[in-house]
């Protein structure tokens, strides 16, 4: 009985961190290798000129990456970084960076 409650609690915690995302944060983590040189391995940036991404909202991250890709938000480095990202990559990257603070 006690084990069952513990298992359920763990499951609820896992779902709590992941349920909001249809995307795959694990795939996003793999894709983030190309981002961490500036934005940091835990989404806390390496320098004052780069924004932190950890714990940022999924919707915001997704919207910014699409804006960079479509060049409606102009920032040459990020326009270049986002140019080759597919919608799925953007969803996964957003899910990964959004998950960092909430789940660690
Ligand atoms: C060479 C450094 C560099 C790399 C690599 C890089 N970024 Fe950025 N990123 C920046 C800079 C600089 C900005 C601020 C752009 C501006 O001035 O608007 C930024 C902004 C962003 C923002 C907007 C944050 C906000 O608060 O509005 C997101 C989201 C983002 N980057 C995601 C990524 C992702 C995902 C990757 C990997 C695919 C990546 N970046 C790779 C430098 C980088």
Q: From first to last of its 104 residues, what are the pLDDT tens digits of the chain?
A: 555 545 544 444 555 554 455 799 999 999 999 999 999 999 999 999 999 999 999 999 999 999 999 999 999 999 999 999 999 999 999 999 999 974 44
Instruction: State if residue 77 touches ligand 1 by the CB under 6 angstroms criterion.
Output: yes
CA neighbor of 82 nearest in space, from 59, 66, 102: 66
Q: Which long-range contacts (CB under 8 A, 24 or more apart) does 64-68 make?
A: 65/90, 65/93, 65/94, 66/90
Given this model, what pLDDT does residue 2 score? 54
Q: What is the CA radius of gyration of the chain?
A: 15
> 78 CA to middle of ligand 1, Å?
5
> 3 CA to middle of ligand 1, Å?
43
């Amino acid at each position: 009985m006690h084990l069952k409650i513990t298992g359920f609690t763990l499951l609820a915690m896992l779902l709590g961190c992941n349920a909001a995302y249809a995307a795959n944060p694990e795939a996003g983590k793999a894709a983030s290798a190309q981002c961490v040189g500036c934005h940091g391995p835990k989404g806390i940036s390496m320098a004052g000129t780069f924004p932190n991404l950890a714990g940022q909202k999924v919707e915001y991250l997704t919207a910014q990456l699409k804006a960079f890709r479509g060049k409606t938000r102009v920032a040459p480095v990020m326009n270049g970084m986002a140019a080759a990202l597919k919608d799925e990559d953007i969803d996964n990257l957003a899910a990964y960076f959004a998950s960092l603070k909430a789940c660690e």
